[in-house]
Structure 1
């Protein structure tokens, strides 16, 4: 009976035999027909070089020792398309090897019991690379990671997450060096942002602990200034709790002004009401209960030893700026570039003209080219920014908002009596430049800014935004008082300081 069994077993083997044992080269098909071995044998055991094939197309080819996969070899998995070439121990991936997966991932380095373990280099399916220490298939220990977006990290890892001390060099030029936890900035660290903002201090969950959350204009919500008098706006950066910002510097803040939208009477002409509605669609909402339209702001110039200074040059101001925006001084002002009158993103507000008249519209071509624009942008030093020697500019000659006000007053007057031959009852008086494009009809050139309520707005224009988030815009109500009040006040002081005359 034993002889028959031995004969049946031998019928599944074709090859060399010694002492009735497989020895030398031979092919053996296992009883379950799933495995097939082709290679060297020694005293009935797979030993030497051979190839073990599986019915699904998978295989191992390499070294065998006393029946076990041991040494160098190659393994292919038909189900996944993955392949490995390297060292084996006890049939498992162990030692140095290269694993190439069908999804494009490639690992070259140390293995232990079938897992990445030790030093290695990994290129993932997205083309990102990691070189460093691994533990149980995860990045663990010290390593360097290069991301697809250009970011590079070098430092500590814990089970596939950045942890401990590390340096991140972002593709946009930003650099962070400090402590990490769960892939986020956490602990003591310093960031130099590509926008020029720097922060050094404590971080928690990826955000500065004590970083800026809001801006506050010093002096309260209401500022008062006399006509044609300069003023200063000081902005403080604060945390969410209202405390002083510490460790941060370099934000770029932009200041602008807006004038209160007039309330036209219901009896105004339909044309004026339509124009007012068009302007209001692009007005800026303030926290003071009214809307404003951008108004030109400028900086007072001083004379120097070289001679008289150039006349004050206002910031860019657009009557029809896009909804929700403050008076736009283009970020290119930081480089000193400006193209006057080039913006035309607002709707036309009358006369076929785009609603972007700047203060320079009233200048001649030669004067416009010779003007150097004032930059409305300032960088923060620690927790503050100062805008000094600011002035509201005289209204431009074609400032539509003032024209609406002038024309509304004109229309509320008694209509002129009909002259001879004037038999058209629907005829209306001329509406001036805002409808006809004729600036001589209604001209405001040369007038001072009017007393009344304006708004000062300070916007965070740091580009790109620090940590992807800009600060909320800060507002202050600016009340412009008539110049005669200032003169009267000065006269009163002079009278009080005059010595008494005795006769």
Structure 2
């Protein structure tokens, strides 16, 4: 080896004028400095290469090259890699700690994540699975900061293929089916909350085909309902927005509410506005005791309705839809306290009879969607149905 091999400041062992054994070498470029073992004038064995910006590599060298196990610290980014190197590149099994608190442990190839590995972010999001060219690619499981987990296919860092999304707290299914470009797309089952499920149906870019939904009574041909003492069943369909207005059979578990109200010409802060330019005052449901044959029980209930504020759900009937249909069964004239709604009217027989005719045409059913959380961020439009009481039991 020529004498030029010894240029630079070297302090250490030599053999036949070549650096051999342990020594410290300051390169002619002052940015680089090496401390470690040498063999025949080359860095070989274990050593530490220091850089002027505070970065360093500490580990194995083979014939002047960084090959083997070692640790590389990057001062500019704060990243630290510990693992296998090949010709100075992260290659093989290793662990990378990033300056922002993230970390990756797994396989590397040419300084990129490649093969099996796990990535943990500083906000505790975790991905475990396969990688290609520094991106999630293939099969993998991602746990998000809010606790949800995705298990399935990835392409180029996006959910693509088949996969399922679950609630990590109780393992309940949120969505299972096809994905495209990181969105639910294709056939799948989607669940929101404890009860709502969109079953085995088509979604496009995260929302159902036929979006948005609407509520419909008798395929949108509802006329005035005639209520009597005979039980009536009201079917409410969830339909799409197309001209066909077909029932969405995939829609299950949506919570539908039915209330009864009376039109008022003197709205108050408690009145409910309607799209038709008038307000309604809600008519409370009768309690079980008011439906009893015991006159004293009925009188007691009427007094309680008059003197006490109704509870939040006292004026409402709830039912969950199944296969796109919600059903309110057993609705009769005695379901709502229609007498109470008219109790403040004039007591004379003439005025009372006239008022009965007027009142029986002023009642309206309000049917709306109260599912929480709101499926697909879309509440269904409310339905308003005029109600006629065929034999109203107003006080004489």
The bucket for the TM-score relative to the shorter chain is 0.7 to 0.9
Q: Please list, as runs of the form range in 1=range in 2, the aligned pairs for 1:415-454 lying within 5 A after superposition.
A: 450-454=359-363
Distance 1:204 1:310, change over 3 A: farther
- TM-superposed CA distance for 1:229, in Å, is 6.4
Q: 2:273 aligns with which of 262, 285, 289?
A: 285
Q: Which has the higher helix share?
A: 1
Aligned to 1:256: 259
Aligned partners of 2:360 and 2:387 also within 8 Å: no
Aligned partners of 2:8 and 2:25 also within 8 Å: no
- TM-superposed CA distance for 1:189, in Å, is 1.2
Query: Are 1:209 and 2:209 an aligned pair?
Result: yes
Q: Distance in 1 between matches of 2:372 and 2:302?
A: 26
- TM-superposed CA distance for 1:210, in Å, is 4.3
Q: Which one has the largest radius of gyration? A: 1
Distance 1:174 1:257, change over 3 A: farther
Query: Are 1:295 and 2:238 an aligned pair?
Result: no
- Secondary structure, in 3 states, of the residue corresponding to 2:362? strand
- TM-superposed CA distance for 1:185, in Å, is 1.1
- Give deviations 1:186-220, integer Å, cap 9, x for gaps: 11112344331222111111112246611012273
TM-score computed with the length of structure 2 as normaliser = 0.82
Query: Are 1:69 and 2:66 an aligned pair?
Result: yes
- Give deviations 1:446-495, integer Å, cap 9, x for gaps: x99942312211111223222343212221122446669xxxxxxxxxxx
Q: Distance in 2 between matches of 1:300 and 1:210?
A: 41
- Secondary structure, in 3 states, of the residue corresponding to 2:376? helix
Aligned partners of 2:261 and 2:365 also within 8 Å: yes
Aligned to 1:236: 237
Q: Distance in 1 between matches of 2:376 and 2:109?
A: 40
Structure 2, gaps ≥5 residues long: 349-355
Q: Distance in 2 between matches of 1:62 and 1:28?
A: 16
Q: 1:148 aligns with which of 127, 142, 145?
A: 145
- Give deviations 1:323-377, integer Å, cap 9, x for gaps: xxxxxxxxxxxxxxxxxxxxxxxxxxxxxxxxxxx96724899xx9xxxx79711
Q: Distance in 2 between matches of 1:190 and 1:6?
A: 73
Aligned partners of 1:185 and 1:205 also within 8 Å: yes
The alignment covers a number of residue pairs equal to: 371
Q: Please list, as runs of the form range in 1=range in 2, the aligned pairs for 1:449-460 lying within 5 A after superposition.
A: 450-460=359-369
Q: Distance in 2 between matches of 1:41 and 1:71?
A: 16
Q: 1:158 aligns with which of 155, 159, 182?
A: 155
Aligned to 1:320: none
Aligned partners of 1:217 and 1:475 also within 8 Å: no
Aligned to 2:130: 133
Aligned to 1:497: none
Aligned to 1:179: 178
Aligned to 1:361: 304
Aligned to 1:220: 221
- Secondary structure, in 3 states, of the residue corresponding to 1:467? helix
Distance 1:139 1:360, change over 3 A: farther
Aligned to 1:189: 188
Query: Are 1:123 and 2:120 an aligned pair?
Result: yes
Structure 1, gaps ≥5 residues long: 263-275, 315-357, 410-446, 485-503
Q: Distance in 1 between matches of 2:385 and 2:117?
A: 59
Distance 1:21 1:462, change over 3 A: same
Distance 1:177 1:393, change over 3 A: closer
Aligned to 1:324: none
Distance 1:284 1:13, change over 3 A: same
Q: Distance in 2 between matches of 1:230 and 1:300?
A: 16
Q: Distance in 1 between matches of 2:346 and 2:17?
A: 119
Q: Please list, as runs of the form range in 1=range in 2, the aligned pairs for 1:36-75 lying within 5 A after superposition.
A: 36-75=33-72
- TM-superposed CA distance for 1:152, in Å, is 1.1
Q: Distance in 1 between matches of 2:303 and 2:324?
A: 34
Aligned to 1:267: none
- Give deviations 1:152-187, integer Å, cap 9, x for gaps: 111101111111111111247343211111121111
Q: 1:82 aligns with which of 76, 79, 88?
A: 79
- Secondary structure, in 3 states, of the residue corresponding to 1:361? helix
Distance 1:362 1:51, change over 3 A: closer
* Bigger mean CA deviation after superposition, 447-456 or 458-467: 447-456
Aligned to 1:467: 376
Distance 1:40 1:221, change over 3 A: same
Q: Distance in 2 between matches of 1:94 and 1:183?
A: 29
Q: Distance in 1 between matches of 2:17 and 2:139?
A: 56
Aligned partners of 2:8 and 2:28 also within 8 Å: no
